[in-house]
Amino acid sequence: MEITEPILLVLVVATALAFDFTNGFHDTGNAMATSIATRALKPKQAVLLSASLNLVGAFLSLAVAATIATGIVNSGVVTLQVVLAGLVGGIVWNLATWFFGIPSSSSHALVGGIVGAVIAAAGTSGVLWSGLIGKVLLPALIAPIVAIGVASVGTWLVVRITREVKDNTNDRMFRWGQIGSASLVSLAHGTNDAQKSMGIILLALLASGAVPEGSSVPFWVILSCALAMAAGTYIGGWRVIRTLGKGLVELSSRQGMAAETSSAAIILVSSHFGYSLSTTHVATGSILGSGVGMKGAKVRWSVAGRMFGAWVITVPSAAAVGALCFFIEQVIGGNAGSYVVFALLVVISTMIFVRSRRTKVDSKNVNDDWESSADNESVIAQSVAAHDPRLLRIKRKKKKRNKKKKSVAGKKHKKKNVTG
Partner 1 sequence: MSKFIEWDAIGNIIVVGLVFGAGLPALFALGVRALAGPGAKHANGAALLTRRVAAVTCFTVIVLAVTGAIIYIAAGGH
Among 101, 177, 305, 337, binds partner 1 (CB under 8 A): 177
What φ, ψ does residue 408 adopt, rounded to 5°? Answer: -55, -90
- 291 touches partner 1 (CB under 8 A): no
Distance of closest approach, residue 365 Cβ to partner 1, in angstroms: 30
Q: Which is nearer to partner 1, 98 or 174 (CB)?
A: 174
- 382 touches partner 1 (CB under 8 A): no
- 158 touches partner 1 (CB under 8 A): yes
- 62 and 222 Cβ atoms separated by less than 8 Å: yes
- 165 touches partner 1 (CB under 8 A): yes
Distance of closest approach, residue 162 Cβ to partner 1, in angstroms: 5
Stretch that binds partner 1, among 96-104, 107-115, 141-149, 341-349 (CB under 8 A): 141-149
Question: Helices 167-207 and 80-99 sit at what angle, rounded to 10 degrees?
Answer: 160
Distance of closest approach, residue 388 Cβ to partner 1, in angstroms: 35
Q: Which is nearer to partner 1, 162 or 365 (CB)?
A: 162
What would the DSSP string read from start to end of 354-391?
HHHHHT---TTTTTS-STT-HHHHHHHHHHHSS--GGG
What is the Cβ-side half-sphere exposure of residue 95, based on CA atoms within 13 angstroms?
A: 22
Sign of CA dihedral 416, 370, 41, 235: positive
Binding mask 63-92 toward partner 1 (x if CB under 8 A, else -) reads xx----------------------------
**Can you tell me the distance from the alpha carbon of 85 to that of 66, in angstroms, rounded to the nearest whole number?**
18
Dihedral (C-alpha) 5, 7, 10, 12: value to the nearest 10 degrees? -70
Q: Which is nearer to partner 1, 223 or 346 (CB)?
A: 223
- 300 touches partner 1 (CB under 8 A): no
Cβ-based neighbour number of residue 218 at 10 Å: 15
- 389 touches partner 1 (CB under 8 A): no
Q: Is 330 left (phi over 0), alpha (psi -120 to 50) or beta?
A: alpha
Q: Which is nearer to partner 1, 61 or 382 (CB)?
A: 61
Q: Which is nearer to partner 1, 275 or 308 (CB)?
A: 275
| Residues 229-268 contacting partner 1, CB under 8 A | 254, 257-258, 261-268
Distance of closest approach, residue 202 Cβ to partner 1, in angstroms: 16
Q: Which is nearer to partner 1, 176 or 353 (CB)?
A: 176
- 130 touches partner 1 (CB under 8 A): yes
Using alpha carbons only, how large is the chain's radius of gyration in Å? Answer: 21
**Can you tell me the distance from the alpha carbon of 192 to that of 62, in angstroms, rounded to the nearest whole number?**
9
What would the DSSP string read from start to end of 219-261?
HHHHHHHHHHHHHHHHH--HHHHHIIIIISB---HHHHHHHHH
Which residue ranges make up the site for partner 1 (CB under 8 A)? 57, 60-64, 130, 133-134, 138, 142, 146, 149-151, 153-155, 157-158, 161-162, 164-166, 169-170, 173-174, 177, 180, 184, 187-188, 191-192, 254, 257-258, 261-275, 277
